[in-house]
Structure 1
Amino acid sequence: MLTTRELNRATLARQLLLGRADLDAWGAVSHLCGMQAQEPQEPFTGLWSRLRDFAPAGLDGLVTGRRAVRVHLMRRTVHLVTSDDVLAWRSRHADMLRQKVLGVYRADLAGVDLVELAAAGREVLAEGPASAAEVVRALGGRWPSVAPRALGEMVIAALVPVVQTPPRGLWRARGGVRNALLADWLGREPDPPDDGDPVGRELVRRYLAAHGPASSGDLRMWSGLAGLPAAVAAVRGELVSFRDERGRELLDLPDAPRPDGDVPAPVRFLPAFDNAILGYQDRSRIVDDAHKGLSVAGERVVLVDGRVTATWRVAEDVVRVAPLRELTAGERDEVVAEGERLAGFLTGGDRVVVG
């Protein structure tokens, strides 16, 4: 059995939060299997909290150099992933993306031939990057009775593999979302599906390397994919298994780090929607049940002794921390010290207010 504290330390180690890693931005994004990025600036804080020598220009260079892209992928949310991974994974996620959009807009899209819609969307985007509004305007004449939002979401988030182009997602850049065909942006189409599902098996291994030990339910929550039991079964012989304090089976790679529960965990400031929380079905390893909705709501959180203990925001160039419980004097000092470093990164100053 793994105690909750041991599971917490394993999670922090896999998520590069137990000690800042000597990786570049590409290595970190690849290791983490991507970073949730619907809020374009959040990955910068996520990488700053994880890497020893992170500079925003490094991530900007990946995006402008087309080595990393912003795409709808896991759970149909926007993720920052390496170009290698999106080319390998996009086809495996295609059915899930389509079904999630249909789950919202099925009535609006009744009677629409999705193959025809996909082809029409590709034609529009083949002319160059376009906003969702521009895509909808181009398609509206052919489907005048369909709600514009349904048309746009189905084309851009599901039917047609696209990327969000810069300056969206660059450091301190502003700009609306413009979409380009993934194949045009990266120079080739995504890898086709493989009935043997080697992609699914690799997703299991990659997920456990970044998030394990974890249950099959955790894997499903992170990916949004319902069709991974066969992939888990196929690699089970490579894995070790544990039980958590709630009795759930947890799978893991045999040689992955599982630190002792007494290993000190430094204070860390996490961005909104961080994978360290959203990457699991059961988030009790890192956040109390009473607070598990914070990250879903878009709150930025502070880890103290490895657990969600405060929220934070920046207002008027001040990092403002709101504790969820009373902090000890030592904890407050650690929060202030890390908050000052974060303020220097985000604002160039060092002002922190706790409470």
Structure 2
Amino acid sequence: MTLEGLELAHRRTGAVGLGGAQPAPFADAADVVGWFGGLQSQDYHPAKWALAQRLGPGVTDADLDRAFDDGVILRTHVLRPTWHFVAPADLRWLLELTAPRIHALNTYAYRRGELDGPLLRRTTDLIADAVADGHHLTRTEIAALLARHGITATGFRLGYILIHAELERMVCSGPLRGKQHTYALLEERVPRAASLEREAALAELVGRFFTSHGPATAKDLAWWSSLTRVDIATGLSLAGDALESTDVDGITFWSAPGNARTPAPSPSVRLLQAYDEYIVGYTQSRYLLDLGDLAAVASGKASLPNGVIVVDTQVAGRWRRTVRADTVVLDTVLCRPFDAAETVALHAAADKLGMFLGARAVVSASVL
């Protein structure tokens, strides 16, 4: 475990909004999402917890459901591709930039689903017409709509039909209907805004990634965004003095200037969802999360729950939640024994999750 690696990891926790190093408190969910450009949300409920951890105390699960229903944040396929929370103000220019690349990455999936260009254009038009004027539809209702027009749309095939409609800037998330997600006409959820020229959009997305995830590498950004290496090089060139680089162990890391701020008090224990940006925003430099190979060794000993426990900057265990009436039970599996201060911090983190869910938190801990 190198001091340089730990320094990079400390700087990174601040950039992703998990330490005392973030530039300023975020005003609302759209502010958090806009900071990142997009926040991964394929699992809707855990993704809300990721938002809440960056918004501070007092934010509840119900608050974020309301923000989602009101269109303060949207959920659509825009990067990689997988679902991301996106701020309405950013959705159009992001899709203009990323959709062609994601369509190209989806070529095999479209072919596997026997979805050629004319059929995809037809399904997109049918869906857009059906959800217009606030007639938000669930996935099941869209499948039934397409079936009435003689189009088989189930499972994998339906998923890529809907992704295509999202990438074509025709539909996006609508409000929840009970526990079911709906689709809405993008024109009715996203205000019109001036388009960004492609180079300006590249500079914006590259800048946002390295500001919100840095220190990080160009390969990390390629994974996160699906942009090509040429596009990333162009974006870095255009960013100019807005970004700075440092070389560690022969790897170039990019970040916003001056993001080496004071880390959160130690020990800081965080209960991160498995797809938190601190976990999934990196490929080449993901090793900074586990500089001592502690989690890598532990994962070979037992099957671990999906959530990630981070102590200061390093992965130290896994967790899983079970909600029972007014109680949330956290089953935790630690990669190493926690000392007294870390145990207190773990229970404090559990209490924060309990407050978010409106439930009393109970922690069950075991050590591999």
Report if TM-score (shorter chain) is over 0.5: yes
Q: Does 1:65 align with 2:67?
A: no
Cα deviations by residue, 1:99-136 (Å, 9 ceiling, x for unpaired): 33323232333654244443344333336322333333
Query: Contact 2:217–2:252 at 8 Å: present in 1 too?
Result: yes
Identity of aligned residues (%): 23
In the alignment, the residues of structure 2 paired with residue 121 and residue 354 of structure 1 have an alpha-carbon distance, to the nearest angstrom, of: 48
SS at structure 1 position matched to 2:364: strand
Provide the residue aligned with 2:164 in structure 1: 158
Kindly report which structure 2 residues correspond to 1:240-319, keeping only aligned pairs within 5 A, or say none.
240-245=244-249, 247-255=250-258, 257-259=259-261, 264=266, 266-281=268-283, 282-287=285-290, 291=295, 299-315=306-322, 316=324, 317-319=328-330
Structure 2 runs not aligned, ≥5 long: none
In the alignment, the residues of structure 1 paired with residue 305 and residue 88 of structure 2 have an alpha-carbon distance, to the nearest angstrom, of: 26
TM-score, L = length of structure 2: 0.81
Gap change, CA 1:52 and 1:130, over 3 Å in 2:
closer
SS at structure 2 position matched to 1:318: strand
What is the aligned counterpart of 1:50 among 51, 54, 57? 54
Kindly report which structure 2 residues correspond to 1:87-166, keeping only aligned pairs within 5 A, or say none.
87-109=92-114, 111-113=116-118, 114-126=120-132, 128-140=135-147, 144=151, 148-149=154-155, 151-159=157-165, 160-161=168-169, 162-166=171-175
Deviation at 1:75, TM superposition (A): 1.5
In the alignment, the residues of structure 1 paired with residue 194 and residue 124 of structure 2 have an alpha-carbon distance, to the nearest angstrom, of: 18
Deviation at 1:220, TM superposition (A): 1.2
Deviation at 1:17, TM superposition (A): 1.2
Q: In the alignment, residue 275 of structure 1 is paired with which amino acid?
A: E
SS at structure 2 position matched to 1:313: strand
Cα deviations by residue, 1:206-233 (Å, 9 ceiling, x for unpaired): 1111101211111111112224332223
Query: Structure 1 residues 117-126 or 60-69, which shifts more?
Result: 117-126
Structure 1 runs not aligned, ≥5 long: 169-173
Cα deviations by residue, 1:116-175 (Å, 9 ceiling, x for unpaired): 44334433333632233333343346665x66445523332124432222226xxxxx52
Kindly report which structure 2 residues correspond to 1:199-214, keeping only aligned pairs within 5 A, or say none.
199-214=201-216
Query: Contact 1:6–1:259 at 8 Å: present in 2 too?
Result: no
Deviation at 1:310, TM superposition (A): 1.2
Provide the residue aligned with 1:339 in structure 2: 350
Query: Structure 1 residues 229-238 or 36-45, which shifts more?
Result: 229-238
Provide the residue aligned with 2:13 in structure 1: 12
In the alignment, the residues of structure 2 paired with residue 217 and residue 332 of structure 1 have an alpha-carbon distance, to the nearest angstrom, of: 36
What is the aligned counterpart of 1:167 among 169, 176, 180? 176
Between the two proteins, the alignment pairs up a number of residues equal to 343
Gap change, CA 1:61 and 1:133, over 3 Å in 2:
closer
Query: Contact 1:321–1:354 at 8 Å: present in 2 too?
Result: yes
Q: In the alignment, residue 59 of structure 1 is paired with which amino acid?
A: L
Provide the residue aligned with 2:88 in structure 1: 83
Provide the residue aligned with 1:321 in structure 2: 332
In the alignment, the residues of structure 2 paired with residue 30 and residue 290 of structure 1 have an alpha-carbon distance, to the nearest angstrom, of: 33
In the alignment, the residues of structure 2 paired with residue 191 and residue 106 of structure 1 have an alpha-carbon distance, to the nearest angstrom, of: 34
Gap change, CA 1:13 and 1:237, over 3 Å in 2:
closer
Gap change, CA 1:265 and 1:330, over 3 Å in 2:
closer
Superposition CA RMSD, Å: 3.1
Deviation at 1:340, TM superposition (A): 3.0
Cα deviations by residue, 1:181-221 (Å, 9 ceiling, x for unpaired): 21122354x76573x42111101111111101211111111
Cα deviations by residue, 1:226-277 (Å, 9 ceiling, x for unpaired): 24332223224543211123x211122223x114789735111112310111
Query: Contact 2:173–2:182 at 8 Å: present in 1 too?
Result: yes
Query: Contact 1:32–1:210 at 8 Å: present in 2 too?
Result: yes
Query: Contact 2:176–2:182 at 8 Å: present in 1 too?
Result: no
Q: Does 1:35 align with 2:39?
A: yes
Q: In the alignment, residue 302 of structure 1 is paired with which amino acid?
A: I
In the alignment, the residues of structure 1 paired with residue 102 and residue 136 of structure 2 have an alpha-carbon distance, to the nearest angstrom, of: 21
Cα deviations by residue, 1:24-78 (Å, 9 ceiling, x for unpaired): 3232222233322222212332233233334125434432332211111122211
Query: Contact 2:267–2:342 at 8 Å: present in 1 too?
Result: no
Query: Contact 1:318–1:343 at 8 Å: present in 2 too?
Result: no
SS at structure 1 position matched to 2:55: coil
What is the aligned counterpart of 1:230 among 230, 234, 247? 234
Query: Contact 2:245–2:253 at 8 Å: present in 1 too?
Result: yes
